[in-house]
Amino acid sequence: MAESTTAQLASTPEEMMNLIKSNLQEVLNPEIIEEILQKNERPLKIYWGTATTGKPHCGYFVPMLKIAEFLAAGCQVTILLADVHGFLDNLKAPIELVQERVKYYRHCITALLRAVNVDTSRLKFVTGSEYQYSSRYVSDIYKLSTQVSVHDASKAGSEVVKQVDSPPLSSHLYPLMQALDEEHLDVDAQFGGVDQRKIFTLAVETLPRIGYRKRAHLMNPLIPGLQEGGKMSSSDPDSKIDLIESAEGVKKKLKKAFCPPKQVEGNGVLLFVEYVLLPASALRNNGTPCFNVPRRDQETLEYSSIAKMKEDYLADILSPQSLKPAVTEALLAILEPIRKAFETDEDWQAVEQRAYPPPPPPEKKKKKEKNLGSRFPGSGPGKGEGEVEAKPDGHLEGKEAHGVSVGVAEMGLEDGKGKDEKKA
């Protein structure tokens, strides 16, 4: 995995390639990228897509910082706001709500990029529904569906699409569409998290079957959530920090974050420094990464590389008690302009209310029914036992419901037999 690289403009094909590959976990078919860079006839075209479902969180800084480096390498970058994909992903939200979330995502992504000094005028935003309903696209989906088995489509989406016991057919269309987007967006490479790898592999294998060229694929690592195990996810509030999270919320979540001493693997706080705070500092400091950790009654630790930070953390020179406050302050500094942009933009605030309406108030608790004795239908055969319950429509439920209904339970009768007959 390459060390974080400055986002200053690259001029030679080698510099461009190094910048494109920096901090990535894996690159599929890099020769496609190298050939375009060497020819130098046009910019390399890359797209990154995101399904507009849950609220964007701080994990989005990772792809955004890579997009900043792609732009610095002279690439042409398209951001796909995948509303149709969001709808197809096990109906996480109705299509009308997903389309409102497109507007929210655009506000968030624009503010996020500006917070790390990226010129958003050089980006191209596209919404999936702008072209995915066209006759050509639908025809290509039909063609591709004849070349991909249900097993392969299910396998491709297993780490991206929500998994349920009886998945809808739409979950199998999702990875096919993501592969096909490469052709319809006219790009040379697709960029995404390493959890997208199976979809990327599907695209490489299947697009040539319907007459389209294969593309390169660039994968960034996933930052672990703030709690132990799992990735940072919109569906788990405790695992992530929203882009418009309050300062109090940021401090509280990072204070509780999983960050064991002398443990580097799976340490989400340390990895957040590696993939967000150090690269972001490079954008603000003319290409020189810098992360400072003040310590009580000791000198401040200064880092320009993650390698030295990990070395000190393993040696317990850098402790969780010092790291967490430093990460909190650095993150708050990045989030502050995003939060201010939200608080001063009435349109963004209105969009948030429409895209993520607050949940309905909880239902009032029903009053507990009084126990009126065993002779009252619905009270149960004995005080406090509650074995029979009268429902609102008048029917009875419970162990002795039938006996109460026909008037035998309170006399100690069962199945029409008297006490004497029962004893006999």
**For 82-103, what is each residue's pLDDT tens digit?**
999 988 876 667 888 888 999 9
Regarding whether 338 and 376 lie in a shared domain, the answer is no
Regarding whether 214 and 77 lie in a shared domain, the answer is yes
Regarding whether 149 and 52 lie in a shared domain, the answer is yes
Regarding whether 252 and 122 lie in a shared domain, the answer is no
Regarding whether 66 and 186 lie in a shared domain, the answer is yes
Regarding whether 304 and 211 lie in a shared domain, the answer is no
- Do the Cβ atoms of 355 and 104 come closer than 8 Å? yes
Give the domain range for residue 387.
367-424
Please give the pLDDT value at position 252. 93
Strands 291-295 and 298-303: antiparallel
Domain ends where: 297, 312, 344?
344
**Would you give the distance in Å from CA 17 to the centre of its chain?**
28
**Residue 340's domain is classified under what CATH number?**
1.10.240.10
Bridge partners for 46 per DSSP: 77, 189
Please give the pLDDT value at position 8. 57
Regarding whether 337 and 372 lie in a shared domain, the answer is no
In angstroms, the CA 93 to CA 72 distance is: 36
In angstroms, the CA 338 to CA 170 distance is: 35
Please give the pLDDT value at position 393. 43
Domain ends where: 281, 311, 344?
344
Q: How large a percentage of the chain has pLDDT more than 70?
A: 81
Please give the pLDDT value at position 119. 80
For 2-15, letters b (16+ CB in 10 Å) and e give eebbbbeebeebeb
Please give the pLDDT value at position 418. 44
H or E segment to which residue 249 belongs: helix 247-255
> Looking at the 3D structure of the chain, how many domains does it have?
3
Please give the pLDDT value at position 151. 93
**For 49-83, what is each residue's pLDDT tens digit?**
999 988 999 989 999 999 999 998 999 999 999 99
Q: Is residue 333 situated within a structural domain? A: yes
Which segments in the chain show pLDDT lower than 70? Answer: 1-9, 90-92, 228-238, 369-424
- Do the Cβ atoms of 288 and 6 come closer than 8 Å? yes
Please give the pLDDT value at position 411. 38
Q: Is residue 226 situated within a structural domain? A: no
Q: Is residue 397 situated within a structural domain? A: yes
Q: Is residue 228 situated within a structural domain? A: no
